[in-house]
């Protein structure tokens, strides 16, 4: 097989020792190349890129304002999973949540990475921009970000908190949390950020971007939100397994109904799939076991900028509308439309009666106005 | 006062008008379905797919119709009427007309073709149509005219309106503006027909309106 020339036996043995058979490893490489839009023929190259990576492009993983859900999604696999191991190999030099070292030791590793530079900087969590609202070891998170972003070879923001603020930035956002690219703009650092928006990040996206970087030495093509086009180029709705039900007009009207058990489309249950771009239906979560809509929940739009505020309420199609000047009265667009139309109809009816009783409609001399 | 039948709307004006009526009717109906699907589909149906298809199709008709109408205003061989829509002049004349319709005045100054309120309302509806096309394009996930990646190209619209959910709300509310306009428009054409007996209502079918003799 071709890959023999590209991946050393030693490396495959090492993987086998860690519980990943060479078969599974190559399968994973194949899947990764497919994810990157490369043909199967690239599998050996992907494998070799990963092997080369084992000779350490250092990764620094910083945690800011988040619940570490992305780290969870990275490490919580039921059995040694390929993506997991590959990220292990990538030598995550520093990750507060999962590294063994702590305290001074950990800080030393971090300082060394910073000095060496050219690391892949992965950031999890939003950045508080209000003074004193987010500090690590007495240092403002935004300053830490600034220091580390300079020497980084690539910056990857993982999860919706790091990309655009996510849950911690939701209204009323007392700490004025923003995403990494916004925070960098504030600190005057001009560097591209790869936004892997999702809550939590899909590990396969992360691996895809990293492998892509190792293979080509370049960052993937990004869309206008800084998300790699290869993962955010299509809306959920266009790949959804329930799409046939949508097109047919078969909808779940209520949870717990017969329609729900039939797996009908969740559009009327507030599914945001039609306005959310991500490859979730194909890549899925937890070793491709399942994903939101597959599990019967509507997509809540976590791959998009402005989530969650602009995608609430999750189980309704459209958000409520606040009418300004009425003490924050919230209503629905439907009510506004209906009331306006009813008022118009009433106005017309009254005017018609008034016109008739004023005699205007009868007076032939008044034709043509003046 | 002598009156004569005047050929007010030639065939192209009338076709343009009815294409728009049809497009708006289809857009409103399918739009309501897309907003909140009111009939369920059976095992072999494509209800939503058809609704989407006709919604997009009519949107093209509405947009192209508007472009044709604007072209006609400047370059029609029948009646170039763009000068009738001067905003300032019409705004000045509007209070009198409003007063008449609110029974405060017994008459008002009639214009050549469009009275003040009409001359204000029609361009306004043109703007609403453009707004609908833009918000619609921002919500559309296909390729406009087969080659413009609409959601990327029109993302700025959603960004300006505060996100796609809000684009949807604005798109929906602007539809109500069109519906209300259509209602008022039909009412006024009937009211004029009854009050002035000038055949306003039928003029959009056969083109002839009863007017003061000019020469
Ligand atoms: S469940 Fe959601 S994403 Fe899937 S077809 Fe229905 S609306 Fe689209
Ligand atoms: S399907 Fe929707 S809610 Fe689920 S992970 Fe993907 S973008 Fe987020």
Residue A307, chain B, CB below 8 Å: the answer is: no
Residue A293 tokens read as: 């809509």
CB of A306 less than 8 A from some CB of B: yes
Nearest CB neighbour to A310, from listed B162, B180, B195: B162
Beta bridge partners of A92: A59
φ, ψ at A215 (rounded to 5°):
-70, -50
pLDDT for the residue numbered B61? 96
Q: Tens digit of pLDDT for each residue in A105-141?
A: 778 878 888 888 888 899 999 999 998 898 888 889 9
Of the spans A214-223, A348-357, B178-187, which averages the highest pLDDT?
B178-187
| Of A34, A53, A72, the domain-final residue | A53
Question: Number of CB pairs < 8 Å for A and B?
Answer: 126
Query: Do the Cβ atoms of A145 and A184 come closer than 8 Å?
Result: yes
A272 lines ligand 1 (CB under 6 A): no
Tell me, yes or no, whether A41 and A76 share the same domain. Answer: no
Distance from CA of A105 to the nearest CA of B (A): 45
User: In this complex, is the C-beta atom of B192 within 8 Å of any C-beta atom belonging to chain A?
Assistant: no
* Surface of B (2-21) touching A: CB under 8 A: 3
- Contacts of residue A354 in chain B, CB cutoff 8 Å? 103
Best of A242, A247, A361 to substitute, by most chain B Cβ atoms within 10 angstroms, is: A247
| Mean pLDDT computed over B30-42 | 89
| A247 interface with B at CB cutoff 8 Å | yes
Per-residue pLDDT for A266 more than 90? yes
Contact B150, B137 (CB under 8 A): yes
For the segment A183-204, the average pLDDT, to the nearest whole number, is 91
Helix %, strand %, coil % of chain A (to 5): 45, 10, 40
Start-to-end Cα distance in chain B: 12
Specify which residues A228 forms β-bridges with. A222
Check whether A3 has a pLDDT greater than 60: no
Residues A4 and A142 in one domain: no
* CB contact B75 to A (< 8 Å): no
What residues make up the domain containing A325? 234-370
Residue showing tokens 């000779």: A55
Interval B179-195 mean pLDDT: 93
Ligand 2 pocket member A46 (CB < 6 A): no
**B85 Cβ partners below 8 Å, 6+ apart?**
B73, B114, B119, B122, B123
Tokens in use for B187?
A: 């009412």
How far is the C-alpha of A362 from the C-alpha of B131, rounded, in Å? 41
Which residue in A190, A195, A180 sits closest to A226, CA to CA? Answer: A195
* In a shared domain, residues A69 and A117: yes
Cβ-based burial of A18 (10 A; exposed 0-12, middle 13-18, buried ≥19)? exposed
- Set of chain A residues whose Cβ sits within 8 Å of the Cβ of B110: 368-370
| Pick from A274, A340, A361: CB nearest B176 | A340
Residue A180 CA to chain centroid, in angstroms? 13
Quick one: tokens of A330?
């919230």
User: Pick from B207, B183, B187, B189: which is nearest to B13 by CA?
Assistant: B207
Residues ≥6 apart with Cβ < 8 Å to A317: A267, A268, A270, B35, B36
pLDDT tops 90 at residue B16: yes
Rounded to a whole number of angstroms, the distance from the CA of B134 to the nearest CA of chain A is 16
* A292 Cβ below 6 A of ligand 2: yes
Closest atom of ligand 2 to A273 CA is: 2
Q: What topology does CATH give the domain B3-212?
A: Fumarate Reductase Cytochrome B subunit (1.20.950)
Query: Is the per-residue pLDDT at A56 higher than 60?
Result: no
Burial class (CB in 10 A: 0-12, 13-18, 19+), B98: middle
Whether residues A240 and A320 share a domain: the answer is yes
Judged by average pLDDT, the poorest of A55-64, A167-176, A199-208 is A55-64
pLDDT tens per residue across span B111-134: 888 888 999 999 999 999 999 999
A201 and A247 both lie in a single domain? no
Of B40, B100, B176, the CB nearest to A337: B176
From residue A121, alpha-carbon distances to A35, A180, B65 in Å are 22, 11, 53
Domain ranges in chain B are 3-212
Total of domains in chain A: 3
Over range A229-238, report the average pLDDT. 91
Mean pLDDT of B163-172: 90
pLDDT at A370 > cutoff 50: no
Cβ distance B101 to A224 less than 8 Å, yes or no, reads no
Residue A252 Cα to ligand 1 midpoint, Å, equals: 11
Q: Is A292 in the pocket of ligand 1 (CB under 6 A)?
A: no
Report the pLDDT averaged over residues A144-166: 92
In eight-state DSSP terms, residue A172 is T
The answer to whether A99 contacts chain B (CB < 8 Å) is: no
d(CA A357, CA A352): 9
Residue of A249, A314, A339, A351 to mutate, testing the B interface (most B Cβ within 10 Å of its Cβ): A249
Residue B82 alpha carbon to ligand 1 centre in Å: 46
**A252 to chain B: closest CA residue:** B40
Chain A residue with minimum CA distance to B53:
A247
Distance A67 CA to ligand 2 centre (A): 18
Query: Is residue A164 pLDDT above 90, yes or no?
Result: yes
Q: Of the candidates A231, A262, A294, which is a domain's last residue?
A: A231
Q: Which of A311, A106, A137 is nearest to B158 (CA)?
A: A311
pTM, full prediction = 0.83
What does the alpha-carbon distance between residue B204 and residue B67 come to, in Å, rounded to a whole number? 20
Q: Taking a C-beta distance cutoff of 8 angstroms, is the pair A239, A245 a contact?
A: no
Q: Say which range, A331-335, B129-133, B195-199, B210-214, has the weakest mean pLDDT.
A: B210-214
Partner residue opposite A247 with nearest CB, options B3, B46, B196: B46
**Per the CB < 8 Å rule, is B45 touching A369?**
no
* CATH number where A292 lies: 4.10.480.10
Quick one: which H or E segment has residue A335? helix A333-358
pLDDT of B37 higher than 70? yes
Among A293, A294, A296, A300, which residue has the most ligand 1 atoms within 8 Å of its CB, making it the best to mutate?
A293
Q: Which ligand is nearest to the CA of A281?
A: 2
Work out the average pLDDT over B106-112.
Answer: 82
| Ligand with minimal distance to A300 CA | 2
Q: For position A79, what pLDDT does the model report? A: 54
Task: Identify the domain boundary among A185, A208, A231.
Answer: A231
Same structural domain for residues A279 and A360?
yes
**CATH number of the CATH domain containing A106:** 3.40.50.700
Nearest CA among A254, A203, A235, A228 for reference residue A86: A203
DSSP H or E run through A60: strand A59-63
Please tell me whether residues A224 and A75 are part of one structural domain.
Answer: yes
- Phi, psi at A35, each rounded to 5°: -60, -35
State the average pLDDT over residues B136-145: 90
pLDDT digits (tens, 9 = 90+) for A327-341: 677 888 888 999 999
């Amino acid at each position: 097989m071709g890959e023999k020339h590209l991946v050393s036996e030693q490396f495959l043995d090492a993987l086998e020792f860690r519980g990943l058979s060479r078969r599974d490893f190559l399968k994973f490489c194949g899947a990764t190349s497919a994810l990157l839009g490369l043909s199967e023929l690239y599998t050996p190259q992907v494998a070799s890129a990963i092997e080369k990576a084992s000779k350490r492009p250092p990764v620094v993983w910083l945690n800011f304002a988040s619940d570490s859900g992305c780290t969870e999604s990275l490490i919580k696999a039921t059995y040694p999973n390929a993506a997991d191991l590959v990220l292990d190999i990538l030598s995550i030099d520093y990750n507060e949540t999962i590294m063994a070292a702590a305290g001074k030791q950990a800080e030393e590793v971090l300082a060394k990475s910073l000095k060496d530079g050219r690391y892949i900087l992965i950031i999890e969590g939003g950045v508080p921009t209000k003074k004193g609202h987010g500090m690590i070891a007495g240092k403002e998170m935004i300053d830490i970000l600034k220091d580390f972003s300079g020497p980084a070879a690539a910056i990857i923001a993982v999860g919706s908190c790091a990309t655009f603020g996510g849950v911690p930035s939701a209204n009323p956002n007392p700490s004025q949390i923003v995403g990494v690219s916004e925070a960098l703009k504030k600190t005057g650092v001009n560097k591209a950020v790869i936004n892997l928006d999702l809550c939590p990040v899909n590990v396969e996206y992360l691996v895809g971007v990293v492998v892509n970087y190792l293979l080509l030495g370049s960052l993937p093509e990004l869309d206008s939100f800084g998300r790699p086009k290869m993962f955010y180029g299509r809306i959920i709705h266009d790949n959804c397994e329930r799409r046939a039900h949508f097109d047919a007009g078969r909808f779940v009207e209520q949870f717990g109904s017969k329609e729900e058990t039939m797996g009908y489309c969740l559009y009327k249950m507030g599914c945001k799939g039609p306005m959310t771009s991500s490859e979730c239906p194909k890549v899925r979560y937890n070793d491709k076991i399942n994903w939101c809509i597959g599990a019967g929940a509507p997509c809540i739009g976590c791959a998009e900028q402005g989530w969650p505020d602009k995608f609430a309420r999750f189980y309704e199609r459209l958000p409520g509308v606040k009418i300004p000047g009425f003490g924050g009265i919230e209503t629905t667009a439907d009510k506004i439309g209906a009331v306006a139309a009813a008022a118009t109809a009433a106005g017309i009816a009254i005017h018609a009666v008034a016109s008739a009783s004023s005699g205007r409609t009868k007076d032939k001399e008044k034709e043509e106005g003046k | 006062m002598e009156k004569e039948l005047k050929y007010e709307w030639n065939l192209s004006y009338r076709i343009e008008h009815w294409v728009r009526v049809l497009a708006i009717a289809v857009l409103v109906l399918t739009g309501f379905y897309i907003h909140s699907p009111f009939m369920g589909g059976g095992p072999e149906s494509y209800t939503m797919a058809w609704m989407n298809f006709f919604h997009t199709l009519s949107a093209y008709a509405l947009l192209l119709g508007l472009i044709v109408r604007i072209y006609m205003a400047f370059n029609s061989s029948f009646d170039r009427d763009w000068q009738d829509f001067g905003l300032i002049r019409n705004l000045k004349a509007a209070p009198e007309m409003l007063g008449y319709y609110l029974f405060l005045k017994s008459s008002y100054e009639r214009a050549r073709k469009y009275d003040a309120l009409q001359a204000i309302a029609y361009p306004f509806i043109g703007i609403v149509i453009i707004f609908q096309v833009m918000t619609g394009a921002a919500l559309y996930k296909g390729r406009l005219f087969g080659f413009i990646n609409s959601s990327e190209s029109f993302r700025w619209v959603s960004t300006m309106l505060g996100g796609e959910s809000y684009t949807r709300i604005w798109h929906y509310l602007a539809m109500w503006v069109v519906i209300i306009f259509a209602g008022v428009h039909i009412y006024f054409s009937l009211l004029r027909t009854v009050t002035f007996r000038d055949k306003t209502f039928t003029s959009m079918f056969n083109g002839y309106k009863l007017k003061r003799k000019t020469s």
